[in-house]
Structure 1
Amino acid sequence: MNPQVERTEILVIGAGPAGSVAAAMLRRQGRQVLILERQAFPRFSIGESLLPQSMEYIEAAGLLQDVVQAGFQYKNGAAFVRSEATTEFDFRDKFSPGWGTTYQVQRADFDDVLARGAERMGATLRFGDEVLSVQPGRPAQVQVRRPDGSEYTIEAGFILDASGFARLLPRLLDLESPSNFPVRGAIFCHVRDHIPAGAGFDRNKILITTHPEHVDVWYWTIPFSNGCCSLGVVAEPSFFARYPGTDLEKLQAIVGEDPNLARLLGNAEWAVLPVRTITGYSANVSSLWGEGYALLGNAGEFLDPVFSSGVTIAFKSAQLASDCLAREHAGETVDWEQDFSVPLRAGVKTFRRFVEAWYAGGFQKIIYHPDPQPEVRRMISSILAGYAWDTNNPYVADASGRRLRVLEELCSA
């Protein structure tokens, strides 16, 4: 036997949320799982405001107590502000059954908690090992480089690519497909906010602010349990190009254009974590699976950060893939297109409809409408809470988007 060839039942590439939850779910099935993570944890990542639907998958993976005990900021909803218009959604008051609360998390800590939890459940976890090449199949041949520069081969019965924005298999196997979303970017950092009690800021909710003059420009303000906030602005690159100076100066200038944010953050200490930028993050692939592999989370498709759907989609992909692998292991024939790709893309398509309507301005008319119909509002609340796969919700079941367009028209009258 070649000592440089290692065999594993399932190889997970990436120890972020999708990879760790998939690994934990597979360990609950008794499967042999190896996780390779190129970076050292903890490490910074974006996507810090979870949706309540995520908690179902964390619980199913056996990682609920790991997350609960970590001391993250409790979250029960979302607040929206545009100029004088304000509204908020309490995710406990929603159409779909299930979790109505979750957390707002520093991803460096959250991802580390999940990865260590998967390791506690018996997954083998290696940091610093980088996948160089993949020859798909059953088994697949994977060439890996250790931190010391030496290389070895893994023979894997199945690969789950949870490499996130690195999009390893899409790049190596030429699976990338153009996204039809306009190119947008984000400038963001962490601030120590010093927002006083009574300032009208609910730390149990993410605050989404629409720019007072530009309907397609918005800010996120995500409070954490340590007195800091994640603060960012999303816009097309041409908007950012109007502002001189450093990325921090651009961010401060754009935040200063919104009176409510300028008031809330008047005493803030800026950039307690460095200012970062990301551009052109929307992505797609020609297929979410192939012979002996499946793509999880951002490795497959990423829409937009506006409704914090990324981690929920990642968890859903982990749940669907682990269910398919369990059925295969039991001797069933699995149609990965119908059993994995189609249901995953259905929820993504629901989020997509609402994201597109947000940037076009129509969904904002719904969000900020002064006299919403309570039952419709609960249906909208469910989608904002992540329940994009609940086809009992008419706004999920209507794949054409006609119901949403009619609602936009009613709220525009």
Structure 2
Amino acid sequence: MQHFDVVIIGAGPAGSCAGAMLAKAGKQVLCIEKQHFPRFSIGESLLPHCMEFLAQAGLENALRQQAETLGYQFKNGAAFLKNGVHSQFDFTDKFSPGPGTTFQVRRASFDKLLADEAQKQGLRIHYGISVTAFDNTDPATAILTVQDEQQQSSQISAGFVLDASGFGRVLPRLLDLEVPSDFPVRQACFCHIRDGIRAQSFDRNKILITVHDEYPDVWFWLIPFSDGTASLGVVGKTSRFNDGISAADNLWQHVKQTGELAALLAEAEPINTAQSLVGYSANVRQLYGDNFALLGNAGEFLDPVFSSGVTIALRSAATAVPLVLQQLNGEQPDWQQQYSVPLRKGITTFRRFVEAWYDGRFQDIIFSKSRNSTITAMISAILAGYAWDEKNPYVAETERRLNVLREVCLDSV
């Protein structure tokens, strides 16, 4: 049985980031990935806060060097559209310190880029390997039973295991850690397009979030890339979709019902088959246990509306790695107070903003003309990913501040 200091499940952004950090610290690290890269994934609009963690892991330079070649789009903010009303946030004009720009990326090549760079730093990655069992009854060693694509099984031992399996949620399933999300079940239909956008007013440096003309709980993402293509998706409760038609028909029917977006995409053409995800929100009872911790979406996924998924994944990796190193050195880190509690603070901030988006409070704020520059900068910081900055009043007192601001915005109409 091969033994490693750390085994990581999943070679997405969280797995590559954690693996690179641990390898640089001199640890023997193996990453197990079920799929082969490159592989399609959504979550293409990064937030500026991500860049800090990529820099910590030694992965940022490779991203910047290859961004143009890979067709990634420089990103400096977010734009919103609802019934002819436009609003935007500039991430360089934000309350919190840190990077104010990032990229919109194709996840297939982006995830492979990070994984390849992490391998150069010493991370070992085995592709085409699934985890079928996990045994952490030994307080010093965890044992994983794995299976290759020829259905051959073997075992690997590790001093610690990080689950970065994303929507695969390997350890939550094997250890029965999953609990139902308290978000309504929603559906997303999406594809990549050659967007054909000619409008000079369209800012390719920003993700565009458009609210459906008739249903305010239905919204679209439009994430431009630098080569004239884009990621397009629609999100709403399952009742807003027709399960008797294809994902593509559901997507384009909703686009046609939303006039300004339909005009913007009048010449758009799909370049891959549309896909659908249903009931993507997820949660767990705990983010850690004996000799393991959950990273990113393996622990909790909220909603794609503010593109928080990759940011939470990278933040979780950067938070967990120092504690893993402590534990491997014989110390006893407090995973509850040093990992779960601080990580969930930012997730809770995002959660409150997601809830406020769907119940209309945050939409009232976004499309209000009465926001002052200070409040706009505070909100911009959270939209840029800085949901852990408790100096920001909209992090420290999210719910109260959102409610008060919404009332101010409504009173000024």
Matching residue of 1:307: 306
Pairs within 5 Å for 1:7-406 = 7-71=3-67, 72-136=72-136, 137=138, 138-196=140-198, 198=200, 200-241=201-242, 245-270=245-270, 272-398=271-397, 401-406=399-404
The aligned amino acid for 2:149 is: P
Distance of aligned partners of 1:48 and 1:364 in 2 relative to their CA distance in 1, 3 Å threshold: same
Cα distance in 1, alignment partners of residues 245 and 127 from structure 2: 37
* CA–CA separation in structure 2 for the residues paired with 1:264 and 1:217: 18
TM-fit CA distance, 1:246: 2.3
Structure 1: how far apart are the matches of 2:3 and 2:263?
58
SS for the counterpart of 1:222 is strand
Q: Is the 8 A contact 1:244 1:250 kept in 2?
A: no
Please give the secondary structure, in 2, of the residue aligned with 1:306: helix
Give how far 1:249 is off: 1.6
User: Matches of 1:364 and 1:281 in 2, distance apart?
Assistant: 22
1:219-245 Cα distance to aligned partner (Å, 9 max, x none):
00000122111000000011113x863
1:258-289 deviations in whole A, cap 9, x for unaligned? 1111111111112x111000010000000000
- Mapped contact 2:46–2:307 kept (Cα < 8 A): yes
C-alpha separation between the residues in 1 aligned to 2:182 and 2:245? 31
Could you tell me how far 1:331 is from its partner in structure 2? 4.4
Deviation at 1:213, TM superposition (A): 1.6
Partner of 1:408: 406
Q: CA deviation at 1:147?
A: 2.4
> Gaps (5+ residues) in structure 2?
none
> Is the CA contact 2:167–2:298 (under 8 Å) kept in the aligned structure 1?
yes
3-state DSSP of counterpart to 1:69: helix
Structure 2 distance, partners of 1:43, 1:339, is: 34
1:88-141, Cα deviation, whole Å (9 max, x unpaired): 111000000000000001100110011111111001111001111110243011
Amino acid at match of 1:186: A
What is the deviation of 1:82? 0.2
The amino acid that maps onto 1:8 is F
Counterpart residue identity of residue 104, structure 1: Q
Could you tell me how far 1:329 is from its partner in structure 2?
Answer: 3.8
Separation (CA, whole Å) in 1 of partners of 2:227 and 2:109: 12
**Secondary structure of 1:57's aligned partner:** helix
Taking the aligned partners of 1:206 and 1:322, their CA distance within structure 2 comes to: 31
> What is the Cα deviation at residue 70 of structure 1?
2.1
Cα displacement (A) at 1:25: 1.2
8 Å Cα contact 2:199/2:264 also seen in 1: no
Q: Measure, in 1, the Cα distance between the counterparts of 2:4 and 2:180.
A: 33
C-alpha displacement of 1:404? 1.3
Alignment partner of 1:142: what SS?
strand
CA gap of 1:197–1:262, structure 2 versus 1, over 3 A, is closer
Q: Percent identity?
A: 54
Aligned amino acid, residue 119 of structure 1? Q
Cα distance, 1:398 vs. partner?
Answer: 1.4
Shift of 1:330: 4.5
Q: How far does the alpha carbon of each residue in 1:148-192 deviate from its partner, in whole angstroms, 9 at most, with x for none? A: 332211011000000110100000000001110000010101110
The answer as to whether partners of 1:218 and 1:233 remain within 8 angstroms in 2 is yes
Question: CA–CA distance in 2 between the matches of 1:17 and 1:294?
Answer: 16
Structure 1: distance between partners of 2:176 and 2:247: 33
SS state at 1:88 partner: strand
SS in 1 for 2:183: coil
Deviation, structure 1 residue 197: 5.3
Distance in 2 of aligned mates of 1:361 and 1:140: 46
Gaps of 5+ in 1: none
- Secondary structure of 1:12's aligned partner: strand
CA distance in 2, matches of 1:334, 1:384: 31
Q: Secondary structure at the match of 1:274?
A: coil
What is the DSSP-based 3-state SS (H/G/I as helix, E as strand, rest coil) of the residue aligned with 2:317? helix
Letter in 2 for 1:298: N
Structure 1 Cα separation of the partners of residues 245 and 141 of structure 2: 52
Distance 2:325 2:88 in 1: 40
Q: What CA distance in whole angstroms lies between the structure 2 residues aligned with 1:112 and 1:246?
A: 30
Q: Deviations over 1:297-333 (max 9, x none)?
A: 1000000000000000000110111021123344432
In structure 2, how many angstroms separate the alpha carbons of the residues matched to 1:301 and 1:53? Answer: 19
Taking the aligned partners of 1:97 and 1:387, their CA distance within structure 2 comes to: 9
Q: Contact 1:186 / 1:279 at 8 angstroms: preserved in 2?
A: yes
DSSP 3-state at the match of 2:230 = strand
Q: Distance in 2 between matches of 1:371 and 1:262?
A: 28
More off after superposition, 172-181 vs 323-332: 323-332
For the residues of structure 1 that align with 2:76 and 2:47, how far apart are their CA atoms? 9
Q: Supply the AA of the counterpart residue of 1:124.
A: R
TM-score, length basis structure 2: 0.96
Is the Cα–Cα contact under 8 Å of residues 190 and 273 in structure 1 kept in the other structure?
Answer: yes
Q: How many residues align?
A: 405
